[in-house]
Amino acid sequence: MRKTEPKTLLALLCEQDKLTYRLFAQRFAVVGVQLYGDSPHNPTCGETQFRRWTGGKLVTLPGPATCRILETIWPAYTADQLFSPPPQGDPQAPANDLEKRVRMTAEDALEGADSTASASISDNTIDELRDQVMALAGDYHLVPPVQAYETGDKLRLLIERQRDRTQAPVQQQELMILNGQTVALLSVAAFDLGYFPSARSFARTAAVFGEATRFTPLQAYADGTLAYIAYHTGNATEAVTKAARGLSYGGLGDVAHRRLHAVKARAHAHLGDVVSAQQAIQLSTEVVQGRRDDLHDTVAGEFAFSLERLAMSTSTTALLIGDAGQAEADARRALELVGQRPRQEQSTHVRAGAAADLAYARLLAEDVDGAAEAMAPVWVVPTAQRKTGIVMRTARIGRHLTLPEYHGAQVATTLREQIEDYNRVSPPYRIGPHVGILTTEG
């Protein structure tokens, strides 16, 4: 029997995220509470209404509150797009590809303008490439890692072509730095997809570009990335060494130091060195000397290390060293900080990661109901944006719930099954080599 094609983009997205009506209604209600508080006046969606929404039978758009909930669940689309027929071609592509066509035409035109250059290229070309790198870094938290990877790979090839067309040393230097930044972002995307060996190779390549150009912030960022890849793959001693080397470079700003100390703290925690882990956490929170650098602060975006990201990281480290009280406090702090940002600046990954840490901290305090409640922000993360960090944290909770004391407990069993279903369709499980994810602490 031939499968019926989805009538609306909403139906297609629900199909991709494996959302039955029951799961959709749960996610809809959770987001409603996040946006409007726990009020009896929050919008609801009955099963008949859901069938009309996904069946293309809607005449007019729902109310603004309902539309906002749907746009929060799927931030890449407007309510108009969600209730319209799905786009043709790649279902992961944006519904409106006019912007994509305009951007591609602009890029082709710029490349053509430089086609006659021999000894150098236009400085405007380098400015455009720099803007594209900054846009990729800035938008990273908003898009699925697959999309970020594809954009970054295309940008890398474009930068390489421009490097082949200039012999000016200053331009070569600048293009190598831009290439190194792009490859560093590819490393993050590969890690988020569960491709640890490729993530390591990209990070090493970024470090080579940093070394060749004497751009120490890029070297430090690459070493920090190599460090967290190392402890996620069971090489915590190497992770400490890499983080320490990153901290040895000159020319780093406060954000770079904050990130490297946080990574080093986690590495020490994986080794069971509680004192060193606590010292590194302290150092990560005390970096306030007003120093800046051209990567972590100027390019920023994914290269930055926000205070909410720091709080999430220290929460995870506290869990590793067995300090559930501190872990809960830091996870709450992370959730509070991310909630204070404008909606377009809020990181879904940080919110979900902190929520998972909060849930695990409550489990360690034998509060199963509180743990289940804390997981609410995790469930609303779209399938395509369930990155390695989230999968590892939730998998750790699932493993904990297999302990004998939870056997037969309804809430614990339901939570464990939800986690298994949630992770089974995530990119790291679906397309990545997830052996490490199954066995490594987050």
- 59: alpha, beta or left, given left = phi > 0 and alpha = psi -120 to 50? alpha
Q: What is the pLDDT of residues 156-210, one digit of tens each?
A: 999 999 998 898 999 999 999 999 999 999 999 999 999 999 999 999 999 999 9
Between 58 and 116, the higher pLDDT residue: 58
* Residue carrying structure tokens 């501190």: 326
pLDDT tier for residue 2 given thresholds of 50, 70 and 90 = very low
Mean pLDDT score of the chain: 88
Between 351 and 46, the higher pLDDT residue: 351
pLDDT tier for residue 435 given thresholds of 50, 70 and 90 = very low
Between 142 and 111, the higher pLDDT residue: 142
pLDDT of residue 33: 80
pTM more than 0.85: no
pLDDT tier for residue 27 given thresholds of 50, 70 and 90 = confident
pLDDT of residue 119: 73
pLDDT tier for residue 439 given thresholds of 50, 70 and 90 = very low
